[in-house]
Amino acid sequence: MKKPVLLTLLFALISMSFSFAQTRVTGTVTSSDDGTGVPFATIVVKGNNNLITTTDANGNYVFPNIPGNAVLVISSIGFTTLEISVNNRSVVNALLSPDATALEEVMVVAYGSVRRRDLTSAVATVRGDELIKAPVASMDQAMQGKMAGVQITASSGSPGAAVVVRVRGAASLLASNDPLYVVDGVPMPGSRDDTYLGYGGASTNAIAGINPADIESIQVLKDASAAALYGSRASNGVILITTKSGKAQKTKVNFDAYYGVQNLRQRIEMLGATEWIAAQNEARDNYNSSLGFLPGNSRYVQPISPSVPGVDVDWLGEVTRSAPLMSSIQVSTSGGNEGTQFYLSAGRFQQQGLVYNDDFLRYSFRSRIDHRFNSKVRLSLNANYSFSDNNRIYNDNNIYGVLLNAFRQRPDQPVYDPNNPENYFNTTRTNAVACYKEVEPHNRNQRLIGNFRFEWELIKNLTFNSTLAADITNIHEYQKLTKKAPQAGGGDEATDVSNYQYNWLVDNTLSYRNSFGPVSMTALVGQSFNQVQLLRAWVRGFGFVTDDLKWI
């Protein structure tokens, strides 16, 4: 009676092993519209995002090794997502249907809008609800990894620092490679800052004043057609930012907040004082023995002993803080009727850096009112004010960089002089703690972006648009170096810089749009005036009587 039971159990185990066997799967993804292959479609095994592949230019794909019972999730822009079971097959073909909703989506393109089905240029899009999923300070950081052909990398780990945005790579070795940013039709400077004081590459972000929660969508114009409307400014691509507006509905209030802490993802373990001295002496012994140098020889390298016995300093721990906070509070209200819609918002964002004295704080306020007088005349008022306080430290590409000198420091040397605790110890390398404690940095940025837009449909399909816009920026920088600051060289100094930038824009366009059966035609003629004026004043003082005197 026992043998049949054992045989049955053995048969069940063998059947289970066949069910979960690994299979090589190939196939072709085609469009149900015309039967052609769908290039660069994404195929992922459901429940395992690590098993992923894409189709080639002809719609073919290969999965070298996936479970025989896997479910493939196939998606591509402009098509509905399809799920299909493998069922231990080696060939799995798929037929994707066009997404009619996506094709009818209206996209903002330069001086107008167009349905996706009528789009002929290369445009990448990301919706506003995708931008707020990650806790970041600026919208360009939130764009990272969401657009094909758009490369976004962090130039610095400092809060509020600029990021490097490249649309289809770098086009110049010496000139700027930053794209042109256009916010609600107003061209803005790139992501690089206009600050005067340098901190070794830790530049501020010129568009960090735009709250990502206020953004409706972002379109990136990636090909040469953008230059037809924006000229040479569009040579590195154009990023069009459309902010949120009210809708004809009952008044709605949204509240969003989060609070979190940050930590070093992987802390670099440094040698302790005893280990460091042992490693140094071992290296010196190897050097002397390999060259035959003996004590008494002028080229003999002497062993070292601790600078201060009993001292073992974790320099990385001295300059980094534990669990710095990041918080955000956003409040918005919107609503209206068929004639008038409104949108109001306010936000506060704060991020403390992992290194002391490295912080970013932003307050933002936005208002927008759209009013339609009748079926032909419409106007829009849009205003955004932001205030940010970005405290930066010397870091990155700088000999006074806090992290750089923390990694270079000897662990057997203390931070402060044991004989005079008010002074710093004369370390072999620049004292990393003094690099941040004896520097008082401030970077306060106020920005007002406003535009007035008037739209009038003169006759059917012929529309006149006029835009008056202003982008006014005031950047106030202040830096105080005490007598103990390594950057001051034994003296003390303070620098105060005020930057004022005025960006004025006047646009007038006349557009004609009509459809003749399956053919759509759009014509645009217009005039654009854009003036940018930069004013800068700075003053520097030396020889303060006391470090308590901070302002010039």
Q: What is the pLDDT of residues 3-47, one digit of tens each?
A: 444 333 333 333 333 444 678 899 999 988 778 888 888 898 988
Range with the largest mean pLDDT of 80-89, 95-104, 110-119: 80-89
User: Which residues have CB under 8 Å from 260's CB, separation 6+?
Assistant: 135, 325, 326, 327
Parallel, antiparallel, or unpaired for β 71-75 and 60-67?
A: unpaired
CA angle 424, 360, 469 (to 5 degrees): 140
CA distance 4 to 12: 12
- pLDDT tens-digit profile of 276-328? 999 999 999 999 999 989 888 889 999 988 888 888 999 998 998 887 888 99
> How many other CB atoms are there within 10 angstroms of residue 3's CB atom?
7
Give per-residue burial for 73-84: e unless 16+ CB within 10 Å, then b: bbbbebbeebeb
pTM of the model: 0.72
145-150: Cβ within 8 A, 24+ apart: 147/220, 148/124, 149/122, 149/124, 149/220, 149/222, 150/124, 150/220, 150/222, 150/237
Distance separating alpha carbons of residues 509 and 193, to the nearest angstrom: 31
Strands 340-352 and 163-167: unpaired
Report how far residue 166's alpha carbon sits from residue 388's, in angstroms, rounded to the nearest whole number: 25
Alpha-carbon distance 217 to 205, whole Å? 20
Among 32-36, 139-143, 383-387, the range of highest mean pLDDT: 383-387
Residue 367 · residue 338 · CB < 8 Å? no
What residues are paired with 451 via a beta bridge? 382, 469
Query: What is the structure's pLDDT at 552?
Result: 67
